[in-house]
Structure 1
Amino acid sequence: MASTPITAAPTVGFDLDMTLIDSRPGIHACYVALAERTGTYIDADLAVSRLGPPLVEEIAHWFPAERVAETADLYRSMYPAIAIAATPAMAGAREAIAAVRAAGGRAIVVTAKYEPSAKLHVEHLGLAPDAVIGDLWAEQKAVALREHGASVYVGDHLGDVRGARTAEAFSVAVATGPCSVAELTEAGADVVLNDLTEFPDWLADYLSAARA
């Protein structure tokens, strides 16, 4: 259970891929282009079924260790032209951020995605969070969550649950990514929502109960 105090103006952290954005179409297209560029087989369908961990972990499934770093750099250089426009917001993403603002709070993005790419996504979609912090995975996310005083962290992956718990923030999981409701619950999420469309009502109830 979270121990970060709930204030009148809460800071809520959100993961990006498969939480705020459906990054599968853009990432799929980028892996297809990367395979063509390098002449290396990549199962793009498989890759987008396990989004969450850092890029280098996926690249390592397809390239030898000595090529991972350079291939990740190549992927990142190709990404803006291929993936940004192809990536939509998840249902309820804008409303979730608006709900935090309506409560007088701040909404931040804390993601494992390469930070420049993460910023391009939120700018393209007009999500306008108060801060975007990238290149942090699982427990590492606690660094940014603590720095910004986040009392709630919302994500779709088991790694997001671990990040929230490490930061002693309330873990809200959404079952819109690769992890099931049962897996997210077993991992220790404090609450599991079907998707972000349920978040505004949940937040209102949560803040009301916390302040009572």
Structure 2
Amino acid sequence: MTSAAVGFDLDMTLIDSRPGIAAAMRALTEKTGVYVDADAAVSRLGPPLRTEIRRWFPEDQVEEAVRTYRALYPEYAITTSLPLPGALAAVAEVRARGLRVMVVTSKHGRLARLHLEHVGLKVDELAGDLFAAEKATALTAHGAGLYVGDHVADMVAARTAGVPGLGVTTGPCDADELRSAGADLVLPDLTGFPEALGRLMRLAL
């Protein structure tokens, strides 16, 4: 691996944000009077917020619902969202190898930053509001040589950027789905990341 950065997705790759997002969705229901099935919403995390909001709100109310949700989010979603197994060690391993850490996520950048600060994850670059192939622009711009994610769209991002994709099955997609989307390697979680990083670096030599 000749590039100087490793990119990570955020939700369900580095952090388990399901409890917090569910709480924020329930708060959105209470605030707007529009029912949102919070449990269903957190079972399919990955796509941009507007994709989920459109399931519940008429199109002419989507933008207002997004603004309301994002205003509620810091109060309801941050403190209950904790690192997934191996996440902190994975970031530490990247730094130990002299590489930079970047997070590329579909989440709004300001809210992603709150999560990172809460769990003590320091990153060199953060790019938000990007999904699937859109993420490739940030990965390329910041010199990522690997992208790690839990969603098939993350593997699309890696393929589009021309870098290896490492999938983890901590999110809504299983190993077969991730491999079919182009994952070079799939792990059950990030506890095996240090060894996997070494393997991918050796393959790149």
TM exceeds 0.5?
yes
Deviations 1:148-200 (A, max 9, x none): 01010000001101011000011110010000111111111111111101101
Which of 187, 194, 203 is the equivalent residue of 1:193? 187
How far 1:205 moved relative to its partner? 2.4
Match of 1:179 in 2: 173
RMSD: 0.9
Which of 108, 130, 141 is the equivalent residue of 1:136? 130
Q: Secondary structure at the match of 2:103?
A: strand
Residues 1:53 and 2:60 are matched in the alignment: no
Match of 1:3 in 2: none
- After TM superposition, list the pairs within 5 Å mapping 1:25-174 onto structure 2: 25-174=19-168
- TM-score normalised by L of structure 2: 0.98
The gaps in structure 2 that reach 5 residues or longer are: none
Structure 1 segments of 4 or more deviating over 6 A?
A: none
- TM-score normalised by L of structure 1: 0.95
Q: Give the percent of matched residue pairs that are identical in Structure 1 and Structure 2.
A: 54
Aligned length: 205
How far 1:204 moved relative to its partner? 1.6
1: CA distance, partners of 2:191 / 2:25 = 30
- Which stretch shows the higher mean deviation, 45-54 or 185-194? 185-194
Query: Contact 1:10/1:105 (CA < 8 Å) preserved in 2?
Result: yes
1: CA distance, partners of 2:60 / 2:10 = 29
2: CA distance, partners of 1:75 / 1:183 = 30
1: CA distance, partners of 2:137 / 2:203 = 27
Q: Secondary structure at the match of 1:123?
A: helix
Q: Secondary structure at the match of 2:102?
A: strand
2: CA distance, partners of 1:57 / 1:75 = 13
Query: Contact 1:28/1:45 (CA < 8 Å) preserved in 2?
Result: yes
2: CA distance, partners of 1:182 / 1:203 = 21
Q: Secondary structure at the match of 1:12?
A: strand
Q: Secondary structure at the match of 1:178?
A: coil
How far 1:206 moved relative to its partner? 2.2
